[in-house]
Amino acid sequence: MCHLCNVFALFSKAGDMGKNNTDPLLSIQDLNTWFFSRKGTAKAVNGVSFDLAAGQVLGVVGESGCGKSVTAQSVMQLVPDPPGKIVSGKILYRGKDLVPMTREQMRHIRGNKISMIFQEPMTSLNPVYTIGDQISEMFTLHKGCNKRQAMAAAADMLQKVQIPAPHKRVHDYPHQLSGGMRQRAMIAMALSCDPEILIADEPTTALDVTVQAQILDLMLALKEEYNTAIQMITHDLGVIAEMADQVVVMYAGRVVEAAPTKNLFSSPLHPYTKGLMASIPVLGERTKGQAKGLTEIPGMIPSLYDLPKGCRFVNRCPHAFDRCKTQEPELSRADAGHDVRCWLHSQGEVTP
């Protein structure tokens, strides 16, 4: 990285260090992001709360339509408006609420302090600019580097994400790179300003398994180096088990379970979480003669325009009883650090 950028980075780090050391880095509190359309109101994110601590990997699991990507877009203030709108709730980054911020204020944070990588690297990179142009923009915009310095810094970043011949590759266009390389380039772009938070939305879903292993490895190594907190959004429980320290399970716009990764996998509480775990074939089980047969979760995710009255999982739940049909459970503490939204486990106190 160029000299100037280093100095800048040092200053900004030192400035941030002093305040709010005890608070979580990112705290989402009772977030509601709704979409208003002719069909009605889709409450894509409906009262979601969770925290992300510095240096932590938080996994957000759920199927399509559960609101995991919209939560991430809300943090980045990238929800298309209209039809979407953050209706209520707070997104506190180092104690400052991002929701009421102006575009100008947000621009200093987005990409700089909080950055994001997407599932489809081809659609998120601009095809008419070179990789180098797109990465160096980060340095000219956020670090005040001049063009030449920025281009050199971009090549440095490509080197960091292990792209061979980075000084040649900066002049390549996205279509000249393979899928794995594009994802690396996007990670390079996302990490170029030393963000404190990296939001990764299905970063490896579109990649082959050997390339996925490379990218996950790279993300963990970069996390160690820069102490970046990662919010990892995925539907793949395998990726969660390998990467995350803490997991949030979402279903139809709600957090239904939140726990440290090991707790979640050793003792899942919510019937949906249990169902998810029982419905995936696990590598090696059949060979060892341990195949249990896949348990299906019957039915499908309810439409956000037409949610069931009580618990949102009631129509697919094998344990549903009368109360589930009429009243929705709160997210409550079931065990140390283990929260669940289910009437089967709601004896404990309600988490604030």
Q: Give the interface with other proteins as residue ranges (CB under 8 A).
A: 63-64, 164, 178-181, 208-214, 216-217, 235-243, 261-262, 265-266, 275-288, 291, 293-298, 300-301
Q: Is the peptide bond before 100 cis (omega within 30 degrees of 0)?
A: no
- Counting every residue, how long is the chain? 352
Which amino acid is present at 328? Answer: E
Q: Which is nearer to other proteins, 84 or 275 (CB)?
A: 275
Q: Are 345 and 339 in contact (CB under 8 A)?
A: no
Q: In terms of CB distance, is 22 or 210 closer to other proteins?
A: 210
Residue with Cβ nearer other proteins (240 or 248): 240
Instruction: Please report how close the Cβ of residue 254 comes to other proteins at its closest, in angstroms.
Output: 16
In this complex, which beta carbon is closest to other proteins, that of residue 4 or of residue 211?
211
State the nearest-atom distance from the C-beta of 149 to other proteins, in Å.
30
The bridge status of strand 96-97 relative to strand 84-93 is antiparallel
| Backbone Cα Rg of the chain | 21
Query: Quick check: helix, strand or coil at residue 286?
Result: coil
Q: Which of 145/258 has CB closer to other proteins?
A: 258
Q: Which residue lies nearer to other proteins by CB, 120 or 137? A: 120
Distances (CA, A) of 300 to 185, 252, 296: 36, 11, 11
Q: What is the dihedral of CA 245, 251, 254, 258, to 10 degrees?
A: -20
Which tokens sit at 193?
A: 């300003």
DSSP 196-209: SEEEEESTTTTS-H
- Measured from the Cβ of residue 220, the count of other Cβ atoms closer than 10 Å reads 14
CB 349, min distance to other proteins, A: 27
3-class SS at 340?
strand
- The H-assigned helical ranges of 30-146 are 68-76, 103-109, 121-124, 131-142
Taking the complex as a whole, the smallest distance from the CB of residue 295 to other proteins amounts, in Å, to 7
Q: How far is the CB of 265 from other proteins (least distance, A)?
A: 5
Nearer to other proteins, 100 or 164 (CB): 164
Q: What is the DSSP string of 294-309?
A: PPP--S-PPPTTS--S
- C-beta closer to other proteins: residue 10 or 291: 291
- Shortest distance (Å) from residue 22 CB to other proteins: 27
Closest distance to other proteins from the beta carbon of 292 (Å): 10
Tell me, rounded to whole angstroms, the distance of Cα 138 from its chain centroid.
21
Q: Minimum Å distance from CB 180 to other proteins?
A: 5
